[in-house]
């Protein structure tokens, strides 16, 4: 395989991953807004002493960080922007 062919395969795979992560990111944000009322109920339960419900927003934050961060990294890589 030539370098150009390997680069092309990598770019097409990265493009597919970027699109997939972008779609997943949109779905996650849509679900977040759709279930925002339920998250407010959980927040009030935590204020009333139900500490276990504190894990829900922490878990959601970690999922968002992983998905959105990976999507952003792949997007900048595809656009050719690199950190110095």
Domain ranges for the chain: 9-79
Q: Is the pLDDT of residue 80 over 90?
A: no
Judge whether residue 8 has pLDDT over 80.
Answer: no
Percent of the chain, pLDDT > 70?
Answer: 89
Residue found by looking up tokens 């925002």 in the block: 36
Q: Is 55 exposed, middle or buried (0-12, 13-18, 19+ CB in 10 A)?
A: exposed
Q: What is the pTM of this model?
A: 0.78
Summarised one tens digit per residue, pLDDT across range 26-66 is 999 999 999 999 999 999 999 999 999 999 999 999 999 99
Comparison of pLDDT for 20 and 3, the residue scoring more: 20
């Amino acid at each position: 395989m030539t370098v150009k062919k390997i680069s092309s395969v990598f770019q097409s795979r990265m493009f597919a991953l970027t699109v997939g992560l972008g779609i997943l990111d949109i779905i996650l944000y849509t679900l977040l807004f759709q279930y925002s009322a339920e998250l407010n109920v959980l927040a009030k339960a935590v204020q009333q002493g139900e500490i276990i419900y504190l894990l829900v927003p922490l878990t959601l934050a970690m999922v968002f960080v992983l998905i959105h961060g990976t999507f952003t990294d792949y997007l900048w890589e595809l656009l050719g922007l690199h950190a110095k």
